[in-house]
Structure 1
Amino acid sequence: MAELFNKQAKQYSESRPTYPEELFQFIASKTPCHDLAWDVGTGSGQAARTLAGIYKNVVATDTSPKQLEFALKLPNIRYQCTPPKMSIAELEQNVSVESSVDLVTSAAAMHWFDLPTFYQQVKWILKKPDGVIAAWSYAKAEINAASANTLLQMLYDNCDPYCDPRARYFVHDRYRTIDFPFQPVDGLEHTGPFEFKTERLMDLDDCFTFIKSWSPYQTAKDAGVELLSDDVVQDFTRAWHEDANPKKVATFPISLKVGKVGN
Structure 2
Amino acid sequence: MANAKISPIHDTTTPQKDPTFRVYTSSQAATYAQNRGAYPKELYEFILSRHAETGGQFTQLLDVGCGPGNAIRDLAPHFDAATGCDPGHEMIVTAAQLGGTTRSGAAISWRVSSAEELSQASGLAEASVDLLTAATAAHWFDMAPFWKEAAALVKPGGSVALFAKTRMYSHPENPAHEAVQKALDDYEKDVIGPHMMPGNWVLRRFFADLELPWQTDPSQTAFDEGRFERYKWNDYSLDGPDGKDFFGGSQVVPLERLYDLLSTAAPATRWREAHPEDTETERDCVRALMTRLKEVSGKDELRLTQGLAFLLFKRAAY
CA contact (8 A) 1:11 1:210 kept: no
2:38 to 12, 18, 22: 18
Q: How many residues align?
A: 254
1:105 deviates by: 0.2
Structure 1 residues 200 and 85: alpha-carbon distance in aligned structure 2, compared to 1, 3 A threshold: same
- Matched residue SS, 1:139: strand
Corresponding residue for residue 242 of structure 2: none
Counterpart of 2:43, as a letter, is L
Counterpart of 1:160, as a letter, is G
CA contact (8 A) 1:3 1:64 kept: no
Corresponding residue for residue 208 of structure 1: 259
1:206 deviates by: 1.1
2:76 to 44, 52, 57: 52
1:67 to 70, 88, 91: 91
1:178 deviates by: 1.9
Structure 1 residues 239 and 245: alpha-carbon distance in aligned structure 2, compared to 1, 3 A threshold: closer
CA contact (8 A) 2:130 2:158 kept: yes
1:180-191 equivalent positions in 2, closer than 5 A: 180-181=212-213, 182-183=223-224, 190-191=227-228
- Give CA deviations for 1:119-164 in whole Å, capped at 9, x if unaligned: 0111001111x11000012221123333444323222121111101
CA contact (8 A) 1:112 1:166 kept: yes
1: CA distance, partners of 2:135 / 2:40? 12
Corresponding residue for residue 192 of structure 1: 229
Corresponding residue for residue 136 of structure 2: 108
Corresponding residue for residue 112 of structure 2: 81
1:115 deviates by: 0.8
Counterpart of 1:40, as a letter, is V
2: CA distance, partners of 1:218 / 1:78? 29
Is 1:138 equivalent to 2:159 in the alignment?
Answer: no
Corresponding residue for residue 211 of structure 2: 179
Which TM-score applies when normalising by structure 1? 0.84
- Matched residue SS, 1:168: helix
In structure 1, runs of 5+ residues without a counterpart are none
1: CA distance, partners of 2:254 / 2:113? 35
1:78 deviates by: 1.2
CA contact (8 A) 1:17 1:200 kept: no
1: CA distance, partners of 2:308 / 2:164? 6
Corresponding residue for residue 252 of structure 1: 306
2: CA distance, partners of 1:202 / 1:55? 32
1:39 deviates by: 0.3
- Give CA deviations for 1:3-52 in whole Å, capped at 9, x if unaligned: 41216434422232421222222222324321110000001212101111
2:268 to 209, 217, 221: 217
2: CA distance, partners of 1:234 / 1:258? 38
- Matched residue SS, 1:102: strand
Structure 1 residues 95 and 202: alpha-carbon distance in aligned structure 2, compared to 1, 3 A threshold: farther
1:155 to 187, 192, 195: 187
Q: What's the Cα RMSD here?
A: 2.6
Counterpart of 2:113, as a letter, is T
Counterpart of 1:49, as a letter, is R
In structure 2, runs of 5+ residues without a counterpart are 1-16, 102-106, 214-222, 234-246
CA contact (8 A) 1:2 1:63 kept: no
CA contact (8 A) 2:255 2:301 kept: yes
2: CA distance, partners of 1:191 / 1:250? 30
1:249 deviates by: 2.5
- Give CA deviations for 1:151-210 in whole Å, capped at 9, x if unaligned: 232221211111011211111x211232222326xxxx6523213444444211111112
CA contact (8 A) 1:104 1:132 kept: yes
- Matched residue SS, 2:109: strand
- Matched residue SS, 1:127: strand
